[in-house]
Amino acid sequence: MPSDARKQVVADSAYALDELTLKLSMARGLDEVMEVVRRLARPLVRADGVTFVLRDNGMCHYADEDAISPLWKGQRFPMESCISGWAMLHGQTVVIEDIYADARIPHAAYRPTFVKSLAMVPVRQEDPIGAIGAYWAHRHVPSEGDLYALQRIANSAAVAMTNVALFQSLIAAKEEAERAKDAIILALASLAETRDYDTGDHIRRTQQYVRVLAEACLARGHGEDELAGTIELLIKSAPLHDIGKVGIPDSILLKAGPLDEAEFTVMKTHAELGRRAIAGAEEHLGTSSPLLRLAQEIAHTHHERWDGAGYPCGLKGADIPLSGRIMAVADVYDALVSKRRYKPALPHLEAVAIIAAERGHHFDPVLVDVFLEVARDFETIHRYFADG
């Protein structure tokens, strides 16, 4: 393009082009890309219509348009029989002053329209993925400045469409990884569970108790620092709290009667075993995972006691992470109201009384107060996900 023509473009429409290019660069979806082109391209080249054509399995899909009267929006034409197809197949800009004098044009498709002249630019020069058309109702030869503008729009649209595709595959990959992670956590947790309990309901109940307790805490202004924004993580990681029981021998884990001191000493290692197993998983991951971090914390601290008499570390009071303090209440409630090999199920009210009596001893007093307010929800959850 001669330098005067470029200067003219710079003078006339540099601002509008820059705006359009900027908007395209921020588009997060194909619809947005087409909308920007539809709204801003036509005035820029003083056309009576513009179309946005997508290459779609060997067809030209007239996906979007802005024109003084309808063109072909929504229609598909074979690549070989339309001018957008010609532009894409040849990777070249086409300018046609008199469409009825050009054999590449399917005249029948143009007769119902206002179009007399057109310019069509491919989107992406190498292996075009679309085309942008500009149409005039009176015979018109677009200036070099207008063609330059159209080609810049097409180039920006090509970059934007590539970005959109990358962005969307990134999101899809992230969602896929998220689903895989959830599934693996549940699989691991149920593995630990099937040796110990009869059903998978303990996992689901525990998640619900944790949700109820954590949300009730937040609603009452407790633990905002530790809970705000992490309740979903807490719920997802809760099922892993007893994963360390996988390392406890059957003779102890499945014993029908009470454990002797030596056996209980072994049993208590499940907190540290669990922490280590999840830490190992995080190490393999090679990056810090908030979910696995929290799961370690819960596995490690769910048997600590507020009065410092718990295990494995004998942590006391607020030195115990809130996640572990919440898990302790949820875990013990479920153990009390469920039948275990070593104990019968207790009625709800007896379980509530035991937890209330442990206020400030086993459990965080504030958490016991909150628990007492929402205890009916615990009962509902236990009944809803009944054993076996």
Interface with ligand C2E by CB under 6 A: which residues?
A: 255, 258-259, 267, 303, 331-332, 335-336, 340-343, 354
- Of the pair 38, 303, the CB lying nearest ligand C2E is at 303
Report the DSSP beta bridge partners of residue 53: 62, 131
**Cβ-based neighbours of 246, under 8 Å, separated by 6 or more:** 191, 192, 195, 273, 277
Footprint of ligand SIN on this chain (CB under 6 A)?
A: 72, 77, 81-84, 93, 106, 109, 121-125, 133, 151, 154-155, 158, 197-199, 201-202, 338-340, 387
Residue 242 is a binding residue for Fe ion (CB under 5 A)? yes
Quote the least distance from Cβ 268 to ligand SIN, whole Å: 19
- Of the pair 16, 266, the CB lying nearest ligand C2E is at 266
Quote the least distance from Cβ 220 to ligand C2E, whole Å: 25
**Cβ-based neighbours of 194, under 8 Å, separated by 6 or more:** 200
Backbone angles phi, psi at 206, to 5 degrees: -60, -40
Contact of 48 with 137, CB cutoff 8 Å: yes
Measured from the Cβ of residue 29, the count of other Cβ atoms closer than 10 Å reads: 12
**Cβ-based neighbours of 323, under 8 Å, separated by 6 or more:** 226, 234, 237, 294, 297, 298, 301
Q: Is the Cα torsion angle 258, 261, 266, 271 positive or negative in sign?
A: positive
Quote the least distance from Cβ 355 to ligand C2E, whole Å: 9
267 binds, among ligand C2E, Fe ion, ligand SIN, none (CB under 5 to 8 A by kind): ligand C2E
The secondary element (H helix, E strand) that includes residue 131 is: strand 130-136
Quote the least distance from Cβ 318 to ligand C2E, whole Å: 20
41 binds, among Fe ion, ligand SIN, ligand C2E, none (CB under 5 to 8 A by kind): none
Question: Under rule CB under 5 A, how many of the chain's residues touch Fe ion?
Answer: 1
- Of the pair 192, 375, the CB lying nearest ligand SIN is at 192
- Of the pair 298, 332, the CB lying nearest ligand C2E is at 332
Report the DSSP beta bridge partners of residue 343: 340
- Of the pair 34, 370, the CB lying nearest ligand SIN is at 34
For Fe ion, the binding residues (CB under 5 A) are: 242
